[in-house]
Amino acid sequence: MEDFVAAARAFLTDVLFKYVPQLLLALVILFVGLKLIKLLNKGLQKTYNRRKLDPSLQQFLHSVIDISLKVLLVLTVMGIAGIKMTSFVAILGAAGLAVGMALQGTLQNFAGGVIILILRPFKVGDYIEQGTYEGFVESIQIFNTTLRTYDHRFVVVPNTELATKSLVNHFNLPQRRITVKVGIAYGESVEHAREVLMRAMSENPYVVQEPKAPEVHVDNLGDSAVNLILFAWTPAETYWPALFTLNEDVYTALGREGISIPFNQVDVHIKQD
C-alpha cells in the first residue's frame, strides 16, 4: 500500500511539475492572444472607416482575419500545452478534404464572393440586373448576395452567378438616359411638338443638362402617327421617378397645347355584292 501511495505521489509530482506549468502558460497565452486579436480588430475597423471601405468588404475582411488569427492562436496554444500536432494536422487535413468535396458548390460561392469584393462590379446600394434577378444590393456576404426588389421582396443570389455571368449595374455611372416615345397625329407641327416637349423636360425637376442636354427626334413614321423619341438624362438613383413623371408631363403638355396623340385605328370596308 505504501508503495502504491509513493508511486501515485511521484506520478502526480511529475505531472504537476511537467504539465501544469505548460497548461498555465497555454491558458495565459490564450487569454492574452484573444485580447490582442480583439484590439487588432478594433484597430482595423478604425482603418476601414478612415479609408471608407465598403461595409460588405469590411465584414468580409473582419471575418477572414478574425477566424484566421484565432485558428493560429489555438494551434499555438495546443503546441505549448504539449499536444502533438502531427496526428491532429493529419486528421484535420483529411476532414477538410472530405468537407471540401461535400461543399464544392459552397466553396465556389465563397470564391465568387472574393472575386466580387476584389473586382467590385457592384456595391451595396447599386441596382443590378442579372438573368431573372433584379433589385437593389442589400448585402454582399461570403456565399451569397441579397437583393431587394422594388416591391420589397428579398432575393438571395449565389455569388457564383454574379461572379461568372454577365450582369447590368444600373448605378455604376452617375447618370442614366431616359427614353420616352410618343406619337403625334399626321398634320401636327413637329417643330411645335418639339418645343412643347423640350419645355416639359426642362421643367421636370429630375432631368439634368449633363452629360447631354435633352433631345427630341422623329423616331419613325408609323401607320397612324408620327412617332417621336425623347432623350433626357437624370441621376441614376432618380431614374424611375424621372421616367414616371416625364411620361405624365409629356401627356399633359401635349394635351394642354392641343396636340393630338392618335391611337391605332383600323378601317373596315364591307363590300356588298
Could you tell me the three cell numbers for 36?
Answer: 490582442
Total-model pTM: 0.57
Which pLDDT does position 39 carry in this prediction?
Answer: 87
Distance CA 85, CA 89 (A): 6
> If you ran DSSP here, which 8-state letter would residue 81 be given?
T
Cα–Cα distance between 183 and 262 in angstroms, integer?
A: 7
Helices (H), 20-54: 20-51
pLDDT at 52 over 80: no
In 3-state terms, what secondary structure has residue 179?
strand
**Cell, residue 271:** 363590300
pLDDT tens-digit map of 82-139: 666 665 565 556 555 555 544 566 778 877 877 887 778 888 888 899 888 889 988 8
CB atoms within 10 A of CB 149: 13
What are the cell numbers at 89? 494536422
Q: What is the DSSP letter of 263?
A: -
The span from the CA of 147 to the CA of 135, in Å, is 5
CB 162 within 8 A of CB 132: no
**pLDDT of 160-199, one tens digit each?**
888 888 889 888 888 999 999 999 999 999 999 999 999 9
- 133-140 sheet: strands from edge to edge: 154-158, 144-148, 133-140, 127-130, 168-169
Judged by DSSP in three states, 65 sits in: helix
Q: Which domains does the chain have, with CATH numbers?
A: 2-102 (1.10.287.1260), 122-169 (2.30.30.60), 175-256 (3.30.70.100)
